[in-house]
Chain A
Amino acid sequence: DAGVTQSPTHLIKTRGQQVTLRCSPKSGHDTVSWYQQALGQGPQFIFQYYEEEERQRGNFPDRFSGHQFPNYSSELNVNALLLGDSALYLCASRTRDRYGYTFGSGTRLTVV
């Protein structure tokens, strides 16, 4: 049973570029949340998707957007990249009626 899978594992982008990160939730999970984890800090909530809609959003600018597909997989898009966007981006999934999240291994984004 595959857990949460994320791609790519590492990515280097230039300031001003756009990036798309991908996540496939654990089998049986229908809710996906995205987190940004800067070095030495706790994961910061970006947004949550359920039934292909954004249900909750953290304190992140509109440059951060997402999507959930009918198969529950999800994408995180970041436009106009800034140096400060460099971080580990974690995808976490769960079933709607459970609280416990399973995390993916993350995508390490470096903006230069």
Chain B
Amino acid sequence: GENVEQHPSTLSVQEGDSAVIKCTYSDSASNYFPWYKQELGKRPQLIIDIRSNVGEKKDQRIAVTLNKTAKHFSLHITETQPEDSAVYFCAAPYSSASKIIFGSGTRLSIRP
């Protein structure tokens, strides 16, 4: 079916430590994998994305890795800071990219 599974649903890490969120998709034709950050009461905002022709992409403290064979992709946040606290959503396209399906979200809390 058209679904994106995301784990864990909640994640608490010490400030300065790393956080990893994992997602699995089912459509082998999917070729674009965005990650969105949603702070309380605000809109989802695109923080990083990756296309299927690369295995990893970095942007400062954030990185995304993709394993197309296993249909897994992950978000890595290093040196976490209090402002990283939010809900993070992964997503993947289905039906020739006409649908972007979201995961169920991960609530990330950064402990001081």
Contacts and interface: CB of A to CB of B under 8 A. Distances in A.
Interface of A: 33, 35, 40-45, 48, 55-56, 58, 90, 92, 99-106
Contacts of B49: 99-100
Contact of B95 (A43, A56, A102, A103): A56
Given A45-B100, A99-B32, 15 more contacts: A40-B105, A41-B104, A42-B89, A42-B105, A48-B99, A55-B98, A56-B99, A90-B43, A90-B44, A92-B100, A99-B49, A100-B46, A101-B46, A102-B46, A105-B42
Interface residues of B, number: 22
A6 B104 CA distance: 23
A103 B45 contact: yes
A42 B104 contact: yes
Interface of B: 6, 32, 34, 36, 42-46, 49, 89, 93, 95, 97-105
Contacts of B103: 42
A17 B98 CA distance: 30
Contact of A58 (B45, B99, B105): B99
Interface of B is mostly: strand
A104 B34 CA distance: 17
B100 A104 contact: no
Nearest to B42: A105
Contacts of A106: 43
B72 to A, nearest CB: 18
A101 B102 contact: no
A42 B34 contact: no
Nearest to A3: B43
Nearest to A57: B99
Contacts of B32: 99
A27 B83 CA distance: 29
Given A58-B99, A105-B42, A105-B43, A100 B34 contact: yes
